[in-house]
Chains A and B, each alone.
Chain A
Amino acid sequence: MSTEITVTVNGTEHTASVEPRLLLAHFLRDVLDLTGTHIGCDTSQCGACTVHLNGEAVKSCTVFAVQANGSEVKTIEGVADGETYSNVQQAFWDEHGLQCGFCTPGMIMTTEALLKQNPNPTEDEIRTGIAGNFCRCTGYQNIVNAIGVAAKAGR
């Protein structure tokens, strides 16, 4: 049973005919070829697939593409403004907030949402804020630093 959906992704409207069970993460990666959003688990925990759905950070592996019909989605590919990185991206680079890079797009998307909600988070609030994003490489230290730096830059 195919369903037609229209989703605006990173500002561009896309219409496609999809199976209802197609996960939003797979829609982004396989139908729209936006492979920056990654899949790291199948229990909705690791957060590597985090995108913004109507301005809110969500795990795109736990949303069907059909649920995003008529919605706006922002992925990692839509964060930079042309070649200008967001404060968050810049801070992740400057502070070495990534190693293998696989969790990074999701981590950045969560961070962007976190800082919008709470522009001046304490270290504890940062650590709790990213508790839904697993990283196996960095031990989180430089990620937390990067988020602090991004928060300062944003003010």
Chain B
Amino acid sequence: MPVTTFGESVRRTEDPRLITGRGKYVDDIRLAGMAHISFVRSPYAHANIKNIDTTAAANAPGVIAIFTGADLQEQLGGLPVAWLLPDLKQPKHPPLAFETVRYVGDAVAVVVADTPYQATDAAELVEVDYEVLPAIVNAERATKDGAPEVHPEAPNNIGFDWSIGAGDWDEVIKDPDVIVVKEEIINQRLIPNSIETRGVVADFDPGRENLTLYTSTQIPHLVKMLYAMVTGTPEQKVRVIAPEVGGAFGSKLYLYAEEVVCGIVSKQLGRPVKWIEARSEAYIATTHGRDHIGVAEMAGKKNGEILGIKIDLYANLGAYLSLFAPLIPSYFFGLMLGGVYKMPNISCHVYGVFTNTTPVDAYRGAGRPEATYVVERMLDRFAAEIGRDPVAVRRKNMLASHKNGRTVTLGVTYDSGDYKANLNKALEMFDYPAFRAEQRTARREGKLLGVGLCTYIEISGAAPSAVASSLGAGAGLWESAAVRVHPTGKVTVYSGTSPSGQGHETAWAQLTSSELGVPMEDIEILHGDTDQGQFGTGTFGSRSVAVGGAAIHKSVTKIIAKATIIAAHIMESDPKFVTFEGGSFAVEDIPDKTMTFQEVAGAAYGAANLPPGMEPGLDETSFFDPTNFTWPYGAHIAVVEIDQDTGKVDLIRYVAVDDVGNVLNPMIVDGMLHGGIAQGVGQALTEAAVYTDDGQLLSGSMMDYAMPTADIFPKFESDRTVTPSPVNELGVKGAGEAGTIAASPAVMNAVIDALSHLGVRHMNMPATSEKVWRAIQDAKETQRAARAAARNPRKQGS
């Protein structure tokens, strides 16, 4: 592994251990004396706990201890919320329920046994006496008078009532020449389903009174801080380690009940304990995503000019507020309602609603897929209404290109973008006129072919702390990086980011190598251990390279600055004449005066000849707090073919042109895009978390929740445009969620386009074969009735 460059597709340094099965995930951690935990969870969506009888369970083989919610009440505070909207209702969220359970999966007791099998067996023997109460599942119905009450503190189950807007929608639609289209928009609930479920190993050392918590998480430092708060433990006595994390996608972004309970139980018992989530457990105990029900409207003129968008939304919060839950359907949703368009008038109202379901929080895209779906679906809907081509309508309304910031309707400033050039590039890859001709021919043969576009933009790179704070954030959202150069010139980088598949070890080593001229194999990237390095914010919201990478760059810049001064001093030159290139310091115009980076490192620690007043060492920490979010954008085009007889939708072509600013490692960025696209396609075509009215999760396993497999995808054709971001010195924007944001609208627009000649104008996700089949039947029936009426005009109105 030599010195790398920014922009190179460097093969990943993580892979050698992962392709040989040597990665250590939380279930691979074995500690001496470790006991195993199984949670007892409510099978009812809403019930009072009348009694818990643990006698039979306690006598089961291998059982060490059983704790109920009542037992641990004293030691457990409520689980916290980190995004506070005005007048947010924050019902207490006990990690183990002790009075009332509020969703299927709500934990009521914890069983500790010698082996995991014994813990599972014993958990089944815990007898809980429930008084079942009525449950409510649908977010809109939950707000109506008479609906079952989830929390007494939240009348009508409303957790928050939030609006954002600009311009004057009501005024705009008064104009009789303005055309308004209106549709019900449902963004269905999803199950994140990272292939590794969650898991915790808690190891309390009774001697030092320290807790080490291994947990599959995206936010080890935040977990540490929050754990300390919730349990009243001194923060410095808690160490959190994120081992290898097998995917997260937003579902491992919280302080979870199980982390708190395992820590407390380990402390009580004075021995390590492990809990590994079963998949069927993950379906009910790990946060869900999306679940928005709303009515959207778009207004515009016959010539295609869009005047505004309105949305009234019920966002399902689930039974309790998860850590970031209020942010997702509020700012991360509302701020994106302008899309890449001028959108002069925006009216957005959101109710965050409690229901008796698993808590809902971020899932890849977190609010932005929901917003983009509204904008892009309604744009196509509007285009169909006025009989104009959707590409033309997009072009007509797109923002002009800008390099250094364009403030849009809602007051946020997009960092840089050339949206039209990006769309054009996608249309170079996809011959749109040729497709329309092919579609016309196909229709004559009765074939259902459709094309759908999505031109999106997303708020990424969370976040400028002061801005975030003013909007409700309870923590700074900067990122940290320490670059420690060792005496022999090797380097360790401590990053506050925390990967779950994004390739940070490679990317950060590549970045450091490219700037220091040090070979990659001389660089170690450490992350995820709160005892190593400084506090960090973690990985989510496509922030790692834009904020975390920028922090590394900042520290490396400081290292180079100090090293330059040392080199200049040793080479008896003025620092302003000393250059650093290819890992070497040189004095201008004096060819034989050079020092390698490694020599300077040695000198820094040897301290034999340092400039007066300079401390030895070569070790810099930085915190990068961005001045703005970053705004990746792109254009995706999907083609579907629908089987007339069955309604089955086949995705037959997918083109993506994304702009994520400068690209550090193209191979890794492309991988992020592919994965995101797959998840977006999954939402559009097959995935849906379905509850019964009394709160049972019908789609409670992969047998009923359709996870995408390799055989449903065509090869994705992807390319990029590059408009560097002015927000950070690397010019990067972030790529983790773009694919997911774009794919659902692109695919759904394609499905509806395939049926548009039959009169179909709208459909909500997922486009299951039955839903599509029914839409075809209904459309054909409507056409038949219309033709019959046309043949017998006198029959009407007689």
The reply to whether A and B meet directly (CB within 8 Å) is yes
Binding site for B on A (CB under 8 A): 19, 21-22, 29, 33-43, 45-46, 48, 75-77, 79-80, 85, 89, 92-94, 96, 98-105, 108, 123-124, 126-128, 130-144
16 contacts between A and B (CB under 8 A): A22-B117, A36-B22, A38-B246, A39-B27, A43-B703, A45-B707, A76-B20, A98-B18, A100-B196, A101-B14, A102-B196, A135-B710, A137-B501, A137-B675, A139-B713, A142-B671
- A43–B704 Cα distance when bound, in Å, is 10
Whether A89 lies near B702 (C-beta < 8 A) is no
A138→B11 contact, CB < 8 A:
no
Q: A38-B27, A144-B710 are in contact. List 8 more A-B contacts (CB 8 A).
A: A43-B701, A100-B247, A101-B244, A126-B710, A128-B710, A137-B247, A139-B716, A140-B678
The reply on B28 being an interface residue by CB < 8 A is yes
Contact, CB under 8 Å: A127 / B711: yes
**Which chain B residues border A92 with CB–CB below 8 Å?**
15, 19
Chain B contributes a number of interface residues (CB within 8 A of A) equal to 57
Distance to closest chain B CB from A58 (angstroms): 17
- Is there contact, CB below 8 Å, between A98 and B19? yes
B500 near A: Cβ within 8 Å?
Answer: yes
Docked-complex contact B709 and A134, CB < 8 angstroms:
yes
**Interchain CB contact under 8 A, A38 and B196:** yes
Question: 9 shortest A-B CB distances, which residue pairs?
Answer: A36-B21, A102-B246, A100-B501, A101-B18, A139-B678, A139-B674, A99-B501, A76-B21, A140-B710
Task: Evaluate contact between A138 and B18: CB separation under 8 angstroms.
Answer: no
**Docked CA distance A79–B192 (Å):** 31
B684 at interface by CB-CB < 8 Å: no
Contact of A136 with B702 in the complex, beta carbons under 8 Å: no
Please report the C-alpha to C-alpha distance between residue A135 and residue B192 in the assembled complex, in whole angstroms.
12
Contacts of A93 in B (CB 8 A): 11-12, 15-16, 19
Q: Report which of A37, A94, A144 forms a contact with B21, defined as CB distance below 8 A.
A: A37
Say whether A99 contacts B702, CB under 8 Å: no
Choose among A33, A130, A136, A141 the residue with the greatest number of B CB atoms under 10 Å from its CB. A136
Q: What residues of A have a CB within 8 angstroms of the CB of B703 in the complex?
A: 43, 45
Give the nearest-CB partner of A23 in chain B.
B117
Residues of chain A within 8 A of B280, CB atoms compared: 42-43
Across the interface, which residues of A come within 8 angstroms of B678, CB to CB?
A: 136, 138-140
B650 shortest CB reach to chain A, Å: 13
- Contacts A99-B502, A131-B709; is A46 near B246 (CB within 8 Å)? no
Where chain A touches its partner, the secondary structure class is loop
List, in ascending order, chain B residues with CB within 8 A of A141's CB: 674, 713, 715-716
* CB closest residue in chain A, given B709: A131
B421 interfacial by beta-carbon distance below 8 Å: no
| Contact assessment for A100 and B702 in the assembled complex, using a CB-CB cutoff below 8 Å | no
Asked if B24 is at the interface of the complex by the 8 Å CB criterion, the answer is yes
Alpha-carbon separation in the docked complex, A98 to B511 (Å): 21
Q: Given A41-B279, A93-B11, are A138 and B711 neighbors across the interface (CB < 8 Å)?
A: no
Minimum distance in angstroms from B379 CB to a CB of chain A: 25
Q: Binding site of B, secondary structure by majority: helix, strand, loop or mixed?
A: loop
Q: Is the CB of A98 within 8 A of B702?
A: no
Bound Cα distance from A141 to B676, whole angstroms? 12
* B665 nearest in chain A by CB position: A96
Instruction: Report the Cα distance A136→B246, complex, angstroms.
Output: 10
Other-chain contact of A35, B12, B21, B196 (Cβ < 8 Å): B21
Question: B225 interface residue, CB < 8 Å from A?
Answer: no
Complex Cα gap A82–B68 (Å): 49
Residue of B nearest to A124 (CB): B711
Using known A-B contacts A42-B279, A46-B195, A137-B247, determine if residue A96 contacts B710 with beta carbons closer than 8 Å. Answer: no
What chain B residues lie within 8 Å of A22 (beta carbons)? 117
The answer to whether A103 and B195 touch across the interface, beta carbons within 8 angstroms, is yes
Residue of A nearest to B711 (CB): A127
A12 → B minimal CB distance (Å): 15
Q: Name which of A94, A101, A140, A144 has the most chain B CB atoms within 10 A of its CB.
A: A101
Q: Are B675 and A96 in contact (CB under 8 A)?
A: no
State the Cβ distance, B196 to closest chain A Cβ, in Å: 4
CB pair A100–B19 under 8 Å, yes or no, is no
**Most chain A C-beta atoms within 10 Å of own C-beta, residue among B20, B21, B503:** B21
A93-B15, A98-B18, A139-B739 given; A128·B711 CB < 8 A: yes
Docked pose: A135 CA to B14 CA in angstroms: 17
* Pair A79/B20 contact, Cβ less than 8 Å: yes
A7 to B447, CA, bound (A): 55
* Nearest CB of A to B779, in Å: 32
Q: Contact string, B16-53, partner A, CB cutoff 8 A, digits 1/0?
A: 11111111110110100000000000000000000000
With the chains together, A80 CA to B20 CA distance in Å?
7
Q: A38-B25, A136-B679 are in contact. Are A127 and B15 (CB under 8 A)?
A: no
Is B667 an interface residue, CB under 8 A from the partner? yes
Residues of A within 8 A of B679 (CB): 136, 139
Chain A: minimal CB distance from B746 (Å): 14
Once bound together, how far apart are the Cα atoms of A41 and B276, in whole Å? 12
CB B509 to nearest CB in A, in angstroms, measures 16
User: Is B193 an interface position by the 8 A CB rule?
Assistant: yes
Interface residue B375 (Cβ < 8 Å from any Cβ of A): no
Measured CB to CB, the nearest residue on chain A to B702 is A45
In this complex, what residue of B is CB-closest to A132? B709
Most chain B CB atoms below 10 A, which of A33, A37, A135 = A135
- Distance (whole angstroms) from the CB of B78 to the closest CB of chain A: 30
* Cβ-defined partner of A136 (8 Å) among B193, B667, B701: B193
Q: Mark B662-679, 1 if CB is under 8 A from A, else 0.
A: 000001101100111111
Query: In the bound complex, what is the Cα–Cα distance between A128 and B713 (angstroms)?
Result: 11
Q: What is the CA–CA distance of A105 and B25 in the complex, to the nearest angstrom?
A: 13
Task: Specify which chain A residues have a CB less than 8 angstroms from the CB of B739 in the assembled complex.
Answer: 139
In the bound assembly, the distance between CA atoms of A40 and B245 in angstroms comes to: 13
> Inside 8 A of A143's CB, which chain B residues have their CB?
710
A100 touches which of B20, B500, B709, B711 (Cβ 8 Å):
B500
Distance, CA A49 to CA B30, complexed state (A): 19
**Minimum C-beta distance from B740 to chain A (A):** 10
Chain A residues whose C-beta falls within 8 Å of the C-beta of B503 in the assembled complex: 99
> How many angstroms from the CA of A136 to the CA of B676 in the assembled complex?
9
Contacts of A98 in B (CB 8 A): 15, 18-19
Provide the bound-state CA to CA distance between A37 and B210, in Å: 32
Task: Verify B27–A35 contact, CB threshold 8 A.
Answer: yes
- Shortest CB-to-CB span from B776 to chain A, Å, is 27
Give complex CA distance A21, B30 in Å. Answer: 22
Q: How far is the CB of A89 from chain B (nearest CB, A)?
A: 5
Known: A43-B702, A98-B15, A101-B18. Contact between A134 and B707, CB under 8 A? yes
* Candidates A33, A103, A127; contact of B713 at CB < 8 Å: A127
**Contacts of A132 on B, CB cut-off 8 Å?**
709
Given A19-B117, A43-B279 in contact, is the A102-B247 Cβ separation under 8 Å? yes
B20 touches A101 (CB 8 A): no
The A-contacting residues of B in range 733-783, CB under 8 angstroms, are: 739
Asked whether any CB of chain A lies closer than 8 Å to the CB of B56, the reply is no
Chain B residues positioned under 8 Å from A94 (CB to CB): 11
Tell me if B194 counts as interface (CB < 8 A to partner A): yes
With both chains docked as a complex, state the minimum distance between the C-beta of B387 and any C-beta of chain A, in angstroms. 35
Rounded to whole Å, the gap between the CB of B687 and the closest CB of chain A is 11
| Nearest opposing residue in chain A for B279, CB measure | A41
Which of B21, B23, B502, B709 is the one whose CB lies under 8 Å from A75? B21
Tell me which of B117, B192, B668, B702 contacts A96 (CB under 8 A).
Answer: B668
